[in-house]
C-alpha cells in the first residue's frame, strides 16, 4: 500500500549504536574533577562513547535519521547520573560556575529536539540523567496526592499507586519510556486527557532545583496567593532548572474500562459531535476521531481490521456514503457512571449519523496504543519518512487549521500520506495530530523534513493554532513560538525569569526561547 | 443574640462621604497636564474630594472603619477614568515616566487592601478607574468563548451573554459590584466553583497593558508552548500592568437550577461526605457546608429559619444528637444531568447520616447569597467587628487548619463568634471560609483586627494552608505569602517579572510582594 501511495522507496539500514562516531569529550581537568565530586563519585560521570551516543538527542525524525547513519557528532561531553536531589543541586552549582551546559534527561523521548546537546557558548555539554531518581516519596490517600522523584517512568508510577488502589491515569503514547519530570516540563497531555485533564491539571506541587537555588511549591488544593509559579515550571523544558520532585493528583482505580469504536459519516459531522460532547457533556474519557485518510490507514493496519472493515462495508452499504471517520470512545470509571455516560453519548453519536463498530475496534486501539513509535523504525527501514506534528485551536478555527497544515505538508512533500486525528477535547476547542508519510530522500532526510515542518509551522501560526499542543517547543518550534508567549514582551518576561534562576545561562541552552 | 454572645456593644455612626477629610492632591503642573492629555481630556482626570474619597480603599474591615470615621487621608491624588485600552497604555507610559503610582480600579471590592493608594517613593498616586471599559468585545458561540473589557461587572456580563443563550456562571459574593478584570488579577473563585471551576480555569486569553508594552495572550484551547504566561497575569493584582481584555470560557445556560438543604450530624461526617463527592463524584455544582457555629447563626438569621429549625428539631429528635451542620447543594445543568447527579449525591449523603431539609433551605441560601456585605454595615452600626478570612488546604491538613485558625482568632479576640464553612471542593482539598464577630473596640478597631488577623495568618502558615483561597494577597497577606510563592527565590522570580513589565515600579506599589 505504501509504495502505491508514496512512490518508490529506498530501503535503509540502521547503524549499531556501538559504531557511532563520537567526537572527543571537551570535559577534562578541574571542571571534570569538580563534577565528579558534586555528582557523588567516579561512577556517576560517564564519558564513554556508548553512554554519550545514547544521549545524543531524542526521538524526532532527525534524531532517528542521524542515529541510523551512525552520526553521534552531537553527543554530550559527559553523562552525569545523579543519585539524589541534593546531588542535582550540587551539580547545577558546579555547571553554573564552570559554564557547562546542562541538558536534563528523563526518558529521552522528546520529539522536538528538547534533548539536543547545544553548548551555546558554554565550555561543554552535560546530559543530567535522572533515571536513578525513580522513587515514590509519599502518598496521601486522604487527599489523593502522590509525590514522586522526577526520573520515574509511568509504568513504575502506576505499579506504586496500584498498591494503594490508586492510579494517575496519564497515558501518552510515550507512556512506557517517558519520565514524570518530563511530563511536567513539556506540559504533556495523555490519551485520556479529555477525562483526567492535561498534565498541567494533575500537578499540585513541584520542587525545582535551579543554579540560583530551590523553588519549593508545595501541593495546594486551590489558592489565590499571587501568580501560580507552578505554571512557570510547567513547560520550562529544563531551561530554568531541574524538577526534583512532583506531587500529582491521583484517583482511585476505576471499576471499569470500556473502549469502543464508531464510524462517523464524515470529518465534519464527527467534529461537530465531539464539540457537542465536549461542551454539553457527558464526555467520554477518551475520544479519538480519525480523518478519512487516517481511518483508511488504521483499518488497513489494524488487528481487528477485517472485522472493522466488514462493519465499515455494512455501514457504507446502509448509508450509501463513500467514506467514513473512525472514532474511538473510552470510559474509565465506576460501572454506574460508565453506563450513564455511554447511554447518553450513544444517543448523541447516533443523532450525528454514527454507526457503532463495537468493542473489537476499541480493543484494537487499546492493543496498539503505544505501538506507533516502534512502527516508525520499521517504516524508516523500508525507506519512508515518518513523522508526526500536533497543534490545537478553538473549534471555530479548527477547520481552517486542518486545511492549512495539510496543504502546507503536501505542497512541501509532494507525494505523501497525511492523516490526522482529534484526540484531546476542550469546551473551547481541540487538538489536531498529524501523521506524515512520504518517500525519504536518501542523504537529504533532515532537509526534506525541516522544510516541510517549517511550512507546517507557518500554516499553524497563520491559522491561529498553537505551535504545539503536547510535544513542547524544544528546537523545533522556537522560531514560531513568540505568538504563543504573548509577543516579544512575553519572551522578555521568560528571559528575566531565566536570568533569575539560571544567571549564567547553562540550563538547556537553545531550547524554548527564540533567538 | 449578639449581645448575649459578644458582650456589651457600643453603637457607632457612619460619617457621610461628603464629610470625609481629604488631603490636598500632590498632582499638579506638567505631570497633571500630561496625564490629562494621555487620558483623553479634562473630564477624564478627577481631582475633586468626593471622587478621591470614593477611591480611598476597598471593602476590608479597616476600610469600612476608616470610612465611617470620615478619614480619607489615604485618598489617591487623582482618579483617571479611561475611555479605552489605548488610553490605558498612554496613561501607564506617562505614569511610568513621571513616577506616579497607579492603582488599577475595577469594582472597588478588594477586602485585602489591594486598592490602598500606596505611593512607595512615587510622586503621587493615581486610581485608574476602568468602569468605562465595560463592553463585550466578541462572542464565539462555536467555541463558547466571549471577550470582554475589564471594567464590566458580572450582572452586565450575564445580561450580554444571555442574549446568546450563554452564561459565565462565576458567582462570588461580590457578584454585583466586582469587575471581570478584578476576577483575573485576584484569582477569584465563585460560589459555584465546584462545578464551573475557579476563575483561573475560565480564562482562555488575556491582554495586559504594562508600562513596558503589551502582552497579548490570545485564547487557546490547550497548549504546550512554554510556560503559560496567562497564569502570571492571573493573581498579579495590578502589580504588573492593567488587564485590558479578557476572553472567558462560557457555557450554554442551564435548563435547570436546583438548590436544596441538608443537615449533617456533625462537621467531621460532613467533611467526609464532601471529600467523597469531590473525589469520586458526582459533584454538585455548589456545595457549602457550615460548621456548628455558622449553622446556628444561619438558622437564627434565615428567612426560612423557622421551617429549617423545625426540620432540625425533628432531626435532633430522630437521631438523638445535640448539634448539626447545614449543607447547601446546588445543581445547574440539564434536567437529565441534574436528576442523575441528585439521585447519586442523595444516596451518598444519606449514608453519611444526612437528613434532607428540602428546597426551602436552598431558596433561603439563594435569596441571601449576596447579602453578607450589606449586613456587615448593619453590624458595624451596632458596634460589632465583622470580618471574614479564607484559606484552603489538602483534605488531610484541613482539620488542623480549622482548629488552628479558630484558636488563633478566639485567643486574640476573647469573647467572639467564629463561624466557618467549606464552599469550594477539589479532589485534593477544600477551602475554609471564616466569619468573625466580636465587640468592636471603639477607637482601636483597626489594631484589634490587625492583631487577630496576624494571629490567623500565622496559624494558616503553621498548618500548611494557603494564605488566601480567593481574596488575593493585597497588603493583608504580603507578610505571609512567601511560602505560597515557593520561598525567597519565588519572590525574586516575581520581582524579575515585575522589573521587566514595570521597570520604574509604578504599578500598584505595596501589594502582593513582601518587602
Q: Per residue in A327-356, pLDDT tens?
A: 999 999 999 999 999 999 999 999 999 999
Chain B residues inside the 8 Å CB shell of A431: 221-222
DSSP H or E stretch at residue A101: strand A100-105
Straight-line distance from the first to the last Cα atom of chain B, in angstroms, rounded to the nearest whole number = 43
Q: What is the least distance, in Å, from the CA of B484 to any CA of chain A?
A: 6
Q: Which of A226, A469, A481 sits opposite B494 (nearest CB)?
A: A226
How many whole angstroms separate alpha carbon A181 and alpha carbon A152?
A: 8
What are the chain A neighbours of B334 within 8 Å (beta carbons)? 280
Best residue in B486, B498, B501, B511 to probe A by mutation, most A CBs within 10 Å? B486
Query: Is there a contact between B428 and A204 if contact means CB atoms under 8 Å apart?
Result: yes
* Contact call for A486 and B217, based on CB within 8 A: yes
C-beta atoms of B229 and A467 within 8 A: no
Contact by Cβ (8 Å): B222, A392: yes
DSSP annotation of A415 reads S
Distance between start and end Cα atoms, chain A: 42
Nearest CB to B395; choose among A142, A396, A500: A142
Element (H, E) at A125: strand A124-129
Please report which helix (H) or strand (E) contains residue A380, including its range: helix A372-381
Residue of chain A minimizing CA distance to B197: A222
Nearest to B198 among A222, A234, A427 (CB): A222
Asked if A496's CB is within 8 angstroms of B499's CB, the reply is yes
Average pLDDT of chain A, as a whole number: 94
- Chain-chain contact of A249 with B281 (C-beta, under 8 angstroms): no
The mean pLDDT value for A455-480 works out to: 98
Which residue in A383, A409, A404 sits closest to A465, CA to CA?
Answer: A404
Residue found by looking up cell 445580561 in the block: B159
In chain A, which residues have their Cβ closer than 8 Å to the Cβ of B483?
218
Q: Which residue of A has its CA nearest to B395?
A: A143
Q: For residue B467, which residues of chain A lie inside 8 Å, CB to CB?
A: 223, 225
The values of phi and psi at residue A466, to 5°, are -85, 145
Query: Which residue of chain A comes nearest to B482, CA vs CA?
Result: A225
Strands B78-81 and B124-129: parallel
Q: How far is A339 from chain B (nearest CA, A)?
A: 12
CB contact under 8 A, B235 and A222: no
DSSP designation for A234: T
**Phi-psi category of residue B84: left, alpha or beta, with phi > 0 → left and psi -120 to 50 → alpha:** beta
Q: List residues bridging with B466 in a β-sheet.
A: B392
B347 CB burial (10 A radius; 0-12, 13-18, 19+): exposed
- A225 to B430: CB separation less than 8 angstroms, yes or no: no
If one counts every other C-beta atom within 10 angstroms of the C-beta of residue A73, the result is 11
Residue of chain A whose Cα is closest to the Cα of B237: A226
- Note whether A280 contacts B252, CB cutoff 8 Å: yes
**Chain B environment of A507 (Cβ under 8 Å):** none
Whether A224 sits inside 8 A of B340 (CB atoms) is no
Q: What is the ipTM of this complex?
A: 0.95
- Model confidence at A282: pLDDT above 70: yes
Residue B431 to residue A280, Cβ atoms within 8 A: no
Q: Which residues of A touch B188 (CB under 8 A)?
A: 224
* Shortest CA gap B216–chain A (Å): 5
A469–B229 C-beta distance less than 8 A:
no
Burial bucket for residue A241 (CB in 10 Å: 0-12, 13-18, 19+): buried
Q: Per the CB < 8 Å rule, is B494 touching A393?
A: no
Considering only CB atoms, B236 lies closest to which of A227, A231, A392, namely A227
Mark yes or no for CB contact A233/B227 under 8 Å: yes
| A427 contacts in chain B (CB < 8 Å) | 144, 249, 251
Closest-CA residue to B505 (of B490, B493, B495): B495
Give chain B positions within 8 Å (CB) of A281. 337
Of A187, A429, A490, the CB nearest to B221: A429
- Spatial distance between the Cα atoms of A206 and A248, rounded to a whole number of angstroms: 9
Q: How far away is chain B from the Cα of A89, in angstroms, using its nearest Cα?
A: 14
- For residue A329, the Cα-to-chain-centroid distance in whole angstroms is 21
Look at residue B2 in the predicted model and tell me its pLDDT. Answer: 75
Interface test with B, best of A191, A224, A402, A479 (most B CBs within 10 A): A224
A279: chain B residues, CB-CB within 8 Å: 144, 251-252
CB contact under 8 Å between A282 and B473, yes or no, is no
Residue of A194, A222, A402, A475 to mutate when probing chain B, most B C-beta within 10 A = A222
**How far is the alpha carbon of A391 from chain B, nearest alpha carbon, in Å?**
8
| C-alpha cell recorded at residue A51 | 553512554
Check A235 against B217: CB less than 8 A apart. Answer: no
- Nearest by CB to B489, which of A213, A236, A430? A213
Q: Which residue of A has its CA nearest to B398?
A: A143
Nearest by CB to B222, which of A228, A431, A493?
Answer: A431
Q: Do A228 and B235 touch (CB under 8 A)?
A: yes
Q: How far is CA B218 from its chain centroid?
A: 25
Q: Where are the alpha helices (DSSP H) in B242-319?
A: 267-280, 292-301, 305-319
Average pLDDT over residues A139-160: 98
A–B: how many Cβ contacts below 8 A?
300
Backbone angles phi, psi at A216, to 5 degrees: -115, 100
Report chain A residues whose CB lies below 8 A from the CB of B219: 394, 428
* Torsion angle (degrees, nearest 10) of CA B144, B147, B150, B151: -90
Greater model confidence, A279 or A323: A279
Say if the Cβ atoms of A500 and B486 lie within 8 Å: no
φ/ψ bin of B187: left (φ > 0), alpha (ψ from -120 to 50), beta (otherwise): left
Percent of chain A with pLDDT over 70: 96
The mean per-residue pLDDT over the stretch A290-315 comes to 71
What per-residue confidence (pLDDT) applies to A361? 83
Give me the residue from B249, B251, B427 closest to A249, CB to CB.
Answer: B427
Question: Phi and psi for B188 in degrees, rounded to 5?
Answer: -65, 155
Note down pLDDT in tens along chain B; length 515 residues.
777 889 999 999 888 877 788 999 999 999 999 999 999 999 999 999 999 999 999 999 999 999 999 999 989 999 999 999 999 999 999 999 999 999 999 999 999 999 999 999 999 999 999 999 999 999 999 999 999 999 999 999 999 999 999 999 999 999 999 999 999 999 999 998 888 999 999 999 999 999 999 999 999 999 999 999 999 999 999 999 999 999 999 999 999 999 999 999 999 999 999 999 999 989 999 999 999 999 988 877 765 555 556 665 665 566 555 569 999 999 999 999 999 999 999 999 999 999 998 888 888 888 888 777 778 888 999 999 999 999 999 999 999 999 999 999 999 999 999 999 999 999 999 999 999 999 999 999 999 999 999 999 999 999 999 999 999 999 999 999 999 999 999 999 999 999 999 999 999 999 999 98
Amino acid at each position: 500500500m505504501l509504495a502505491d501511495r508514496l512512490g518508490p522507496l529506498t530501503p535503509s539500514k540502521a547503524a549499531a549504536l556501538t559504531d557511532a562516531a563520537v567526537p572527543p569529550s571537551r570535559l577534562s581537568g578541574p571542571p571534570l574533577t569538580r563534577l565528579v565530586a558534586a555528582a557523588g563519585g567516579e561512577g556517576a560521570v560517564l564519558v564513554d562513547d556508548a553512554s554519550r551516543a545514547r544521549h545524543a538527542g531524542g526521538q524526532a525524525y532527525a534524531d532517528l535519521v542521524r542515529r541510523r547513519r551512525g552520526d553521534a557528532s552531537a553527543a554530550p561531553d559527559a553523562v552525569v547520573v545523579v543519585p539524589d536531589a541534593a546531588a542535582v543541586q550540587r551539580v547545577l552549582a558546579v555547571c553554573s560556575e564552570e559554564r557547562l551546559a546542562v541538558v536534563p534527561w528523563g526518558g529521552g523521548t522528546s520529539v522536538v529536539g528538547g534533548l539536543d546537546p547545544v553548548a551555546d557558548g558554554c565550555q561543554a555539554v552535560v546530559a543530567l540523567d535522572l533515571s536513578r531518581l525513580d522513587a515514590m516519596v509519599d502518598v496521601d490517600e486522604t487527599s489523593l496526592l502522590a509525590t514522586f522523584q522526577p526520573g520515574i517512568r509511568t509504568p513504575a508510577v502506576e505499579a506504586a499507586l496500584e498498591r494503594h488502589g490508586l492510579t494517575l491515569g496519564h497515558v501518552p503514547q510515550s507512556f512506557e519510556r517517558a519520565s514524570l519530570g518530563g511530563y511536567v516540563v513539556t506540559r504533556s497531555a495523555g490519551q485520556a486527557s479529555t477525562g483526567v485533564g492535561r498534565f498541567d491539571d494533575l500537578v499540585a506541587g513541584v520542587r525545582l532545583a535551579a543554579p540560583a537555588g530551590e523553588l519549593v511549591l508545595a501541593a495546594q488544593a486551590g489558592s489565590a496567593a499571587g501568580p501560580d509559579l507552578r505554571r512557570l515550571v510547567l513547560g520550562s523544558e529544563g531551561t530554568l532548572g531541574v524538577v526534583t520532585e512532583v506531587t500529582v493528583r491521583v484517583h482511585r482505580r476505576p471499576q471499569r474500562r470500556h473502549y469502543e469504536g464508531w464510524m462517523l459519516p464524515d470529518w465534519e459531522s464527527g467534529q461537530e459531535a465531539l464539540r457537542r460532547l465536549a461542551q454539553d457533556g457527558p464526555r467520554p474519557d477518551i475520544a479519538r476521531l480519525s480523518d478519512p485518510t487516517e481511518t483508511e490507514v488504521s483499518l488497513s493496519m489494524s488487528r481487528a481490521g477485517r472485522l472493522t472493515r466488514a462493519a465499515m462495508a455494512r455501514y457504507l452499504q446502509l448509508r450509501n456514503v463513500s467514506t467514513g471517520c473512525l472514532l474511538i470512545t473510552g470510559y474509565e470509571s465506576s460501572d454506574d457512571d460508565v453506563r450513564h455516560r455511554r447511554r447518553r453519548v450513544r444517543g448523541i453519536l447516533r443523532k450525528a449519523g454514527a454507526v457503532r463498530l463495537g468493542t473489537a475496534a476499541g480493543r484494537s486501539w487499546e492493543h496498539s496504543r503505544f505501538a506507533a513509535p516502534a512502527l516508525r523504525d520499521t517504516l524508516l527501514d523500508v525507506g519512508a519518512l515518518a513523522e508526526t506534528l500536533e497543534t490545537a485551536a478553538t473549534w471555530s478555527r479548527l477547520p481552517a487549521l486542518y486545511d492549512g497544515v495539510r496543504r502546507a505538508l503536501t505542497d512541501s512533500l509532494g507525494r505523501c500520506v497525511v492523516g490526522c486525528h482529534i484526540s484531546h477535547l476542550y469546551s473551547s476547542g481541540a487538538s489536531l495530530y498529524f501523521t506524515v508519510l512520504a518517500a525519504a530522500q536518501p542523504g537529504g532526510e533532515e532537509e526534506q523534513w525541516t522544510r516541510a515542518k517549517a511550512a507546517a509551522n507557518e500554516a499553524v501560526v497563520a491559522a491561529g493554532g498553537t505551535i504545539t499542543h503536547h510535544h513542547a517547543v524544544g528546537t523545533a518550534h522556537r522560531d514560531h513560538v513568540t505568538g504563543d508567549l504573548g509577543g516579544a514582551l512575553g519572551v522578555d518576561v521568560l528571559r528575566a525569569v531565566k536570568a533569575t534562576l539560571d544567571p549564567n545561562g547553562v540550563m538547556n541552552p537553545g531550547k524554548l526561547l527564540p533567538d
